[in-house]
Every structure is written in structure tokens, then in C-alpha cells.
Amino acid sequence: MANIYGGDEVSALVLDIGGSSVRAGYAGDDTPKAIFPTYYGFTIANEGEVPPNASEGQAQSEQSSQQKKINIHIGEQSGPSTWRPEMEIANPIRESLNFEPIPAIVRHALRDVLRTNPTEHPILITEPPWNTPANRERMAEMMFEEFNVPALYIANSAVLSSFAAGKGTALLIDIGKDTASVTPVVDGFVLRKGMTRSTVPQLLYANAFHMLTQNSQARPPIELWSHHMIASKTVKTLRLSLYI
């Protein structure tokens, strides 16, 4: 009776796509098995080459007919932390939900990191309380058509947090990297009229970045470097001065 997702033979997979990181693992585990940044890098390459002996008019027509291919780089090791020429970094969740890189993110979490076959596991995907029905339908369509999952459930993250605490009715305060929200949950249902959210974490992050990189009377500014620009790490002894 293998591959029966309603029994104990196959565990369900849980996928949580946040603004800062993506978490995936098996249902029932204490911690997720896969954690990697939501940020991804992408490079644009032209498919096809113009023949070297082509005329000027033919070369222009060949260039106009070329299709641009977008290469997406995801993950902790080979993702945006690795330098590539003309690579740009984006986030599919931060401003508004962008579904173009979502299949690549799901594929990397389930197949590359967890080493599982999505067609053999039921999947639970979390969604924020303010998610729209259109985004929910598109996510379900993507999971069934592109990954052929046998079963799918999209659960509200606030309701899951309330149930995890053993409460069916609670007031959930969620402070993430980009958004802070307060969500009332009554008997397992979200009261959307009482829900509120704010982008205060982005302001705090920008303020902390400004304080660290600017010169002050207490300390010099801190230089921030990307991972690919650091050749080695050495331990230095710091002398602390107390200002009274």
C-alpha cells in the first residue's frame, strides 16, 4: 500500500514561502529540512546567434527574432550570493506576488533540497492572511498542472500559528522582515475586518542600516561586503572604549 497519501506510508510536505526565507519540510517534524533565501538572482541571455556572414538587414531581422531567456539562480550556495556578470536580484514576495519565479523556488525546495518527488506527497502551502483568492487559485493551478501533486491544501499562516499554540481563538502578532501584522482568529477563522498590517520592519531595517554605515562619535562606519567579495575570514581582537 505504498504511495497512499491518506495513510502513514507517505508524509505530507509543508512549504512556507516568506519575504525573507523559504522553509520546507515534512509534516510532523519540529524544524524544516530546507531553509534558503527567498531572494533570487536572474540573468537574461539571448537564444540563438546571428551567422557571421549575414548581411546587415538579415542580421537586424535575426536579432529582432531572437528570444530572451531568463536564467533564475536560487539557493544558498548557487543563488544570488554567487557573483555573475549582469545579474540582478529580486524578491517575488516583497512588493507584490510575482508568480514567474515561484515554480523555480518550489522545484528547488522540493526536488533539489528535500530530494522528494512532488507527485508522491500531499503538500500544504501557507499563505498570509491578506492573500487574495486570485493568488490562491493560481497557486493551486501551478501545483496541480506543473508538479502533479496528488493533494493540496492552502492554509492561513495565522490560523496555523493559533492551532500550534493549542488555541482556536487568539490574537496573532507576526513581525517579519518586511511586514508586521495583527490578525484576530476566532474558532479557526480569520476576521479580516479586524486585521491590520504595517511596513514598519522595513523602516527599522533601513534605519539600522543607516546607523551602521554612517560615521558617529562613538565608532567609525561599518563596511558591508557581499559574500562573493570575501576571500577569507580572520578573527581580530577589538578594543572596546567606554564613553561616560
CA distances from 175 to 19, 20, 164, 179, 223 (A): 11, 12, 17, 6, 27
Phi, psi angles (nearest 5°) of residue 150: -75, -30
Backbone φ and ψ of 13, nearest 5°: -105, 140
pLDDT tens per residue, the chain (244 residues)? 345 544 456 689 999 998 888 999 998 888 899 999 888 888 887 655 444 444 444 334 344 434 567 788 888 777 787 778 888 888 888 767 788 889 999 999 999 999 999 999 999 999 988 888 999 999 999 999 999 999 999 999 999 989 988 888 999 998 887 888 899 999 888 888 888 888 888 888 888 888 888 887 777 888 777 665 666 766 554 454 444 4
- What was the pLDDT predicted at 152? 94
| The three cell numbers locating residue 169 | 481563538
Q: What is the pTM of this model?
A: 0.72
Sign of CA dihedral 132, 157, 127, 27: negative
What pLDDT score does 59 carry? 37
Beta 123-127 vs 88-90: how paired, if at all?
unpaired
Give the sign of the dihedral formed by CA 84, CA 86, CA 92, CA 94: positive
